[in-house]
A = this chain, B = another copy of it.
Amino acid sequence: MAQINKNYLKLPGSYLFSTIGKKVREYGEANPDAEIIRLGIGDVTQPIAPAIIEALHSAVDEMGSADTFKGYAPDLGYEFLRDVISEKDFKARGCNISSDEIFISDGAKCDCGNIQEIFGLDNKVAVCDPVYPVYVDSNVMSGRTGEYDATLERFKDVIYMPCLEENGFMPEIPTEVPDLIYLCFPNNPTGAVMKKADLQKWVDYANENDSIILYDAAYEAYISEEDVPHSIFECEGARNCAIEFRSFSKTAGFTGLRLGYTVIPKDLTTGGDELWPLWARRHGTKYNGAPYIVQKAGAAVYSEQGRKQIEEQIAYYMGNAKIILEGLKEAGYSVSGGVNAPYIWLKTPDNMTSWDFFDFLLEKANVVGTPGSGFGPHGEHFFRLTAFGNRENTIKAVERIKLL
């Protein structure tokens, strides 16, 4: 008899953002007049920039003509895209990452979720708490986490690194040595960033302990301060211990276009085994490339016009972040993030639970945010708002929250 993968049954509840979507949908149906403002799921609202739209139209035309039609993409992605990424995202920052160390994909979420497949099931995983749920859930599904302890709200075999007010939402080196360390900076959900010297300590630690860092840099475009690394490969020795994930979703509004990439240095090994060929094999076997037209759109992000336009877009969202940050401070909330990241992390008032505050905000202000506890037990009593709304709605949402 066919048997299901029983690891799935260990997952508590449904995927966080699916749950939020369902709650909001139900509230909207019950209250058709409510003008709901969504600052919950980290989805962007600004349209794709004109230079990118132009590139898309032109690529669509290519697909419509026999001479320029493109079928299956090359395994790692088109060279025109990998070359410009290598130049602009890495070499320009002094990182020695070559085109063939870049794997184009349909987004960082997929890559973050799939990367664990190239590692054995006995690896010990460390994650921040709170954390982007995909890192944990994908490891649960494959059987790397042990059982769920409902009292502790934790999986038995996962190392959790609490990110608290007290430590500035920064993980501390765990007492037990992990094999795989998920780090995300600028952080989702807290919006915290790690300075270069601090990240260097993690790189050194990983190299000393033969751990691999899985570094999610999906929000690097929002870094505004100096001395905050955009890539882990700015740190010395990172080529020997790190894999990096990048996304076009927040950088250029590609949440609905789907494009990202993963960097695996060719000389990265663990236990004597190279990682690059494993991911190449996985990529070639279980994936079939991002659409040509979307890869062309990705290349346009790096054009002079494209770059200028997305910088304006990022400035726009960071303007929203400032409005939320200052508005909530004025209203007496304890808030962080929002300076080098599009996320604002706030403490719920009156020690409300995160989900109670979610319901409260949805019902009283018709504003949707994300409950901090959805990101892990140490997210309890916190709440995430995003800067990805449009300006008008962001202002309106903050005004409504102020009136509560």
CB <8 Å contact, A5 and B117: yes
- Chain B residues with CB under 8 A of A282: 8, 141
A80 at the interface (CB under 8 A from B): no
A98 at the interface (CB under 8 A from B): no
**Complex alpha-carbon distance, A140 and B64, angstroms:** 38
CB <8 Å contact, B60 and A47: no
CB <8 Å contact, A14 and B71: no
**Complex alpha-carbon distance, A312 and B109, angstroms:** 38
Per-residue CB contact flags for chain A residues 71-82 toward chain B (1 = under 8 Å, else 0) read 111010000000
Contact (A107, B288) CB under 8 Å given A4-B120, A4-B273, A256-B72? yes
* This chain: copies in complex: 2
Of chain B, the residue at the smallest CB distance from A255 is B71
A315 at the interface (CB under 8 A from B): no
CB <8 Å contact, A113 and B18: no
Per-residue CB contact flags for chain A residues 322-348 toward chain B (1 = under 8 Å, else 0) read 000000000000000000000000000
CB <8 Å contact, B5 and A287: no
Which of B2, B44, B271, B292 interacts with A4 by CB under 8 Å? B271
- Chain B residues with CB under 8 A of A61: 53
A353 at the interface (CB under 8 A from B): no
Interface residues of A in 389-404 (CB under 8 A from B): 390
CB <8 Å contact, B281 and A11: yes
CB <8 Å contact, B43 and A69: no
- Chain B residues with CB under 8 A of A46: 66, 69
A234 at the interface (CB under 8 A from B): no
A175 at the interface (CB under 8 A from B): no
CB <8 Å contact, B2 and A119: yes
CB <8 Å contact, B72 and A43: yes
- Chain B residues with CB under 8 A of A137: 285
Per-residue CB contact flags for chain A residues 237-266 toward chain B (1 = under 8 Å, else 0) read 000000000000000010111100000000
Which of B5, B69, B113, B275 interacts with A285 by CB under 8 Å? B113
A291 at the interface (CB under 8 A from B): yes
Identify the interface centre among A56, A60, A123, A275: most chain B CB within 10 Å of its CB. Answer: A60
- Chain B residues with CB under 8 A of A47: 63-66, 69
CB <8 Å contact, B50 and A2: no
Closest CB in chain B relative to A125 CB, distance in Å: 10
- Chain B residues with CB under 8 A of A292: 256-257
A284 at the interface (CB under 8 A from B): yes
**Complex alpha-carbon distance, A113 and B287, angstroms:** 8
**Complex alpha-carbon distance, A4 and B268, angstroms:** 12
Per-residue CB contact flags for chain A residues 1-14 toward chain B (1 = under 8 Å, else 0) read 11111101101001
Closest CB in chain B relative to A277 CB, distance in Å: 8
CB <8 Å contact, A72 and B291: no
Interface residues of A in 110-134 (CB under 8 A from B): 110, 113-114, 117-123, 133-134
Closest CB in chain B relative to A109 CB, distance in Å: 5
Which of B45, B122, B179 interacts with A66 by CB under 8 Å? B45
Which of B45, B73, B281 interacts with A8 by CB under 8 Å? B281
Closest CB in chain B relative to A261 CB, distance in Å: 14
24 residue pairs from A and B, CB less than 8 Å apart:
A1-B209, A1-B271, A2-B212, A3-B271, A4-B118, A8-B282, A9-B273, A18-B75, A43-B72, A44-B71, A45-B71, A47-B65, A50-B64, A53-B64, A56-B293, A63-B257, A70-B256, A72-B255, A73-B256, A106-B288, A107-B288, A109-B287, A110-B286, A113-B285
Q: Report the 5 A-B pairs with minimum CB-CB distance, sorted nearest first.
A: A113-B286, A43-B71, A53-B64, A1-B210, A3-B120
